[in-house]
Structure 1
């Protein structure tokens, strides 16, 4: 009798840790710049997701469980970013003779709410956010600052021709304090999770937005099993005057079905970045 109760208890514990209704993702990225102006910047991200139906991972990768299960959800995101410049000579911008040392700092807070909804073979994603930015310049002991607020938005409509392939299009943009501070971009998204041999999977994804500023990211992840993956991503941003590209290697490992840790190392022209992140499900 005792053995039966023990087995029953273990089964309940196992099932409760395998299925989940909510998820928290957090991470920090440190970027080091090798140029004459920017020193470094940091980015902290936090996202909470509530699923309308419990997510039940099966044989696929734990990291892709909600996508493979077509689990609709609502989410909230917050990010904080800061940037510091080096001390540089700004005499070219001021009516003075001789060198003049100056330094600038920047930080921003961005919050947003969104939802993903799967209906049969159709996919809908909507997101609305508010971003507050502040830049401060310090020259010869005198400082001046400027605040900037904007509303961000994103809306996608997609179709799944097969259960693990998503193709979506929509808009991605922002509206600033005045009509000139805006960009309404055409957005595309694609994602495909395919099974391989011996319980292994591959994830292919792409995300892009095209307007006054064009940006695109493509990535791939190889899942050795349900818990462990190694992948790569390439990102390019073109603002019309110049373009910057960035290549990254990333990995994620689930210590158990409810807790994962991950990291990323990236590099580009005169820039290196390091990221650590974690996922908790309950």
Structure 2
């Protein structure tokens, strides 16, 4: 009976069941960073949804958001890089947990949203360091498939990565955001975010936008991502991030991605990001790095 159950689960994943409750994702990025070699990342993320997610309508990549699917997530991030002269190597590991909820009540005319997360990061170079990070977000959906949210995050130090941002936006964006959040060695920051996904009339295409920002004591970082869903299975996207933090490792970040669902339950994708640090002063540029990444990812749902 156990073998029959396992075979059934595999068959559903391969043939494409239109509802799922668990999503497992993995990705890796090759990092080409000025002054470093042998740099790469690895990420894993698992999500459990409290109710079945209907993936039969709209872009498959956004099925959970379109369903307003409350969930819990666990994430892991790893990256490693070594200087060309072998004088030092840096290894980073980050562990995270997150819960998201969508609620509808008779007291509020629109659905409300809330999330809470915790991340712990360990960094090893010639010495060891670590950082914790807490975040809280509240928001609402004033219209269908449109979310606005504000939040608070406490960032112990610049090593304190947001594990889920590293997975969803890449390691360069996550590092830049952590630097900004800890600008001038402060630990408290305010966040704001908006997200929309909508169909294009008279087609089976859709478009998605997401804007996020973080503000801390006169410094800020901004991010914009947009995706065009050519079909429910296939999407192409672009993203851009900028910062006013005087000590961040990059001036701006831009990139692109492509994602394809082989079946409604299995997808593969590729990403590219590049940072530019040319606008920093001589003293700051000694620590700022021009860098680029190429990444591959996959996911399975059941």
Please say whether Structure 1 and Structure 2 have the same fold, judged by a TM-score greater than 0.5: yes
Which consecutive unaligned segments of at least 5 residues does structure 2 have?
1-7, 105-110, 160-183, 277-289
Distance 1:16 1:43 in 2: 29
Cα offset, 1:182, TM superposition: 5.2
Asked whether the 8 Å contact 2:57–2:63 carries over to 1, the reply is no
1:53-132 equivalences in 2 (<5 Å): 53-87=51-85, 103-120=87-104, 121-132=111-122
Other-structure match for 1:92: none
Distance 2:274 2:185 in 1: 30
Cα offset, 1:205, TM superposition: 0.5
Asked whether the 8 Å contact 2:241–2:253 carries over to 1, the reply is yes
159-168 or 264-273: bigger deviation: 264-273
Other-structure match for 1:47: 45
Other-structure match for 1:25: 25
Distance 1:130 1:251 in 2: 30
Residue 254 in 1 paired to residue 252 in 2? Answer: no
Q: 1:37-74 CA distances to partner (integer Å, 9 max, x unpaired)?
A: 33463221111000000001232000010000000000
Deviating beyond 4 angstroms after TM superposition, the runs of 4 or more aligned structure 1 residues are 12-16
Distance 2:229 2:25 in 1: 20
Asked whether the 8 Å contact 1:172–1:209 carries over to 2, the reply is no
Residue 277 in 1 paired to residue 283 in 2? Answer: no
Other-structure match for 1:184: 188
More strand by percentage:
1
Cα offset, 1:154, TM superposition: 1.3
Query: CA 1:13–1:281 in 2, change beyond 3 Å: closer, same or farther?
Result: closer
Cα offset, 1:207, TM superposition: 1.7
What TM-score results when the alignment is normalised by the length of structure 1? 0.80
Cα offset, 1:133, TM superposition: 1.0
Residue 195 in 1 paired to residue 202 in 2? Answer: no
Match of 2:212 among 191, 207, 214: 207
Cα offset, 1:13, TM superposition: 5.8
Structure index of larger Rg = 1
Distance 1:249 1:225 in 2: 18
Other-structure match for 2:175: none
Which consecutive unaligned segments of at least 5 residues does structure 1 have?
1-8, 88-101, 136-144
Q: 1:116-146 CA distances to partner (integer Å, 9 max, x unpaired)?
A: 00002100010012111111xxxxxxxxx21
Question: CA-atom RMSD, angstroms?
Answer: 2.5
Other-structure match for 1:217: 223
1:7-26 equivalences in 2 (<5 Å): 17-26=17-26
More helix by percentage:
2
Distance 1:72 1:30 in 2: 32
Asked whether the 8 Å contact 2:269–2:296 carries over to 1, the reply is yes
Other-structure match for 1:267: 274
Query: CA 1:182–1:131 in 2, change beyond 3 Å: closer, same or farther?
Result: farther
Distance 2:118 2:124 in 1: 21
1:63 is paired with a residue whose SS is helix
What TM-score results when the alignment is normalised by the length of structure 2? 0.75
Query: CA 1:172–1:42 in 2, change beyond 3 Å: closer, same or farther?
Result: farther
165-174 or 261-270: bigger deviation: 261-270
